[in-house]
């Protein structure tokens, strides 16, 4: 028999052929003559209905067990699916004791419940959908940047710099000749590469030793970062943020409509906000503007890191920074124009006592420096926003946060 993934089997193009599928049992139903199984293999939200004679020894065919089924793919008499598989052979590859298995057949477990089983939660429809969406969104982001001519850069995970200067560094065991940390942002490395390219981006894990239990903070999260050369205005950055959001979301809705719909139907909560003051401010702003995404620009000089470009021409002492705030999540993207003027940057670094550490960064302004800027988007916050998921721990396969590093 021809081996098919279940998304292929249910699409009915192989009707009338002998096929073999492999997957996990999502439901079992016994009738007098027949035994009905639904088998899912993660290739899509859909399960394939398998019909077998009830003569078959079905003691081991339980919810959650892994099976290999061979048989004839036929048109289904039921209106609920196009095709079904008339099994002539079912092999239970891995048994699953339904009494001990934490998920129960036909029950819709909520995200909070399934979060307790990080090693098993991919067996639920909801988390399986999430993983497909995550994967597809990753592709969509890469396609967006590729189509716009950006070069993807693999920035390091271990670094000797503290990009954001917010004191949220995970220190790495002494090994190098200098203190080293897990990276909080790939920005400074991207800035190095943007010194020779029109646009670059990175997409990788970033780390923050943030002592927060909030529903939108992780200690390890994925960040999409872009750095654009010859950029002189925040408008250019906003345009890229907006286009990237739009293009990624359109791609997702086109490629994973069923998976996204599952979230919108069963998961999306009302906008239930975190409670720290900053989040409250963001909430107010988004609400005040009619519950739509919005940009906030020109932050006070003292609130942003050393690299942010001084708005010398504006009356209040601000920098050219922009955050994108979205309903349900708050800050989704943060970006700035980078200070490219050597004298201003020198002064700022000297004030912070960082001029020695960042000698190489000053060099970037000495040799063929151009105005440039960039931003970072928290990938999990993006997923929270688009899927309406309340807790960030439910949109990443293995969440790490204050006091919790399971598996």
- Which residues of the chain form contacts with ligand 4AD (CB under 6 A)? 163-164, 185, 187, 208, 210, 217-218, 221, 223, 225, 331-335, 374-378, 380-381
The alpha carbons of the chain give a radius of gyration, in whole angstroms, of 26
- 327 vs 334, which CB is nearer to Mg ion? 334
210 binds, among ligand 4AD, Mg ion, none (CB under 5 to 8 A by kind): ligand 4AD
d(CA 214, CA 329): 11
**How many other β-carbons are positioned within 10 Å of the β-carbon of residue 367?**
7
- 84 vs 162, which CB is nearer to ligand 4AD? 162
Which structure tokens are listed for 152?
A: 């993807």
- 19 vs 223, which CB is nearer to ligand 4AD? 223
Pairing of strands 181-182, 83-94: unpaired
- 168 vs 355, which CB is nearer to Mg ion? 168
Which structure tokens are listed for 82?
A: 């196009």
To ligand 4AD, the closest distance from the beta carbon of 383 in angstroms equals: 11
To ligand 4AD, the closest distance from the beta carbon of 86 in angstroms equals: 48
To ligand 4AD, the closest distance from the beta carbon of 9 in angstroms equals: 38
To ligand 4AD, the closest distance from the beta carbon of 218 in angstroms equals: 4
Taking each helix axis as running N to C, give the angle between helix 234-255 and helix 125-147, from 0 to 180 degrees, rounded to the nearest 10. 130
What phi and psi values does residue 189 have, to the nearest 5 degrees? Answer: -70, -35
d(CA 263, CA 266): 5
374 binds, among Mg ion, ligand 4AD, none (CB under 5 to 8 A by kind): ligand 4AD
Residue 384: burial class (beta carbons within 10 Å; 0-12, 13-18, 19+)? buried
To Mg ion, the closest distance from the beta carbon of 321 in angstroms equals: 8
322 binds, among Mg ion, ligand 4AD, none (CB under 5 to 8 A by kind): none
Binding residues for Mg ion (CB under 5 A): 334
Beta bridge partners of 227: 200, 374
- 65 vs 187, which CB is nearer to Mg ion? 187
372 binds, among ligand 4AD, Mg ion, none (CB under 5 to 8 A by kind): none
Q: Are the CB atoms for 178 and 226 separated by under 8 Å?
A: no
26 binds, among ligand 4AD, Mg ion, none (CB under 5 to 8 A by kind): none
- 48 vs 333, which CB is nearer to ligand 4AD? 333
To ligand 4AD, the closest distance from the beta carbon of 366 in angstroms equals: 22
Q: Are the CB atoms for 62 and 97 separated by under 8 Å?
A: yes
Match 């490395």 to its residue by tokens. Answer: 189
């Amino acid at each position: 028999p021809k081996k098919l993934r279940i998304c292929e089997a249910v699409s009915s193009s192989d009707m009338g052929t002998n096929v073999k599928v492999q997957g996990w049992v999502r439901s079992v139903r016994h009738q007098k003559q027949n035994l009905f199984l639904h088998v899912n293999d993660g290739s899509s939200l859909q399960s394939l209905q398998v019909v077998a004679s009830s003569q078959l020894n079905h003691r081991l065919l339980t919810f959650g067990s892994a099976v290999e089924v061979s048989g004839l793919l036929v048109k289904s008499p039921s209106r609920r699916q196009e095709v079904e598989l008339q099994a002539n052979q079912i092999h239970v590859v891995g048994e699953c004791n339904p009494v001990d298995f934490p998920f129960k057949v036909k029950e819709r477990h909520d995200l909070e419940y399934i979060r307790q089983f990080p090693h098993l939660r991919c067996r639920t429809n909801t988390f399986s959908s999430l993983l497909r969406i995550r994967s597809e969104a990753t592709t969509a982001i890469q396609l967006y940047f590729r189509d716009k001519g950006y070069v993807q850069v693999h920035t390091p995970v271990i670094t000797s710099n503290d990009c954001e200067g917010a004191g949220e560094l995970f220190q790495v065991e002494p090994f190098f000749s200098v203190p080293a940390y897990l990276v909080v942002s790939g920005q400074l490395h991207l800035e190095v590469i943007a010194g020779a390219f029109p646009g670059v981006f990175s997409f990788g894990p970033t780390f923050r030793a943030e002592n927060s239990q909030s529903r939108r903070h992780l200690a390890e999260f994925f960040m999409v970062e872009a750095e654009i050369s010859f950029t002189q205005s925040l408008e250019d950055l906003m345009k890229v943020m907006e286009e990237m959001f739009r293009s990624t979301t359109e791609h997702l809705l086109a490629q994973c409509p069923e998976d996204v719909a599952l979230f919108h139907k069963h998961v999306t909560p009302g906008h239930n906000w975190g409670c720290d003051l900053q989040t409250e401010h963001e909430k107010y702003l988004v609400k005040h503007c009619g519950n739509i995404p919005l940009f906030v620009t020109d932050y006070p000089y003292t609130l942003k890191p050393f690299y942010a470009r001084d708005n010398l021409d504006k009356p209040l002492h601000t920098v050219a920074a922009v955050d994108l705030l979205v309903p349900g999540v708050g800050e989704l993207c943060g970006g700035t124009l980078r200070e490219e003027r050597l004298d201003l940057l020198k002064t700022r670094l000297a004030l912070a006592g960082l001029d020695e550490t960042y000698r190489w960064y000053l060099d970037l302004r000495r040799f063929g420096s151009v105005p440039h800027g960039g931003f970072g988007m928290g990938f999990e916050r993006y997923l929270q926003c688009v899927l309406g998921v309340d807790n960030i721990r439910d949109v990443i396969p293995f969440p790490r946060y204050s006091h919790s590093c399971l598996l």
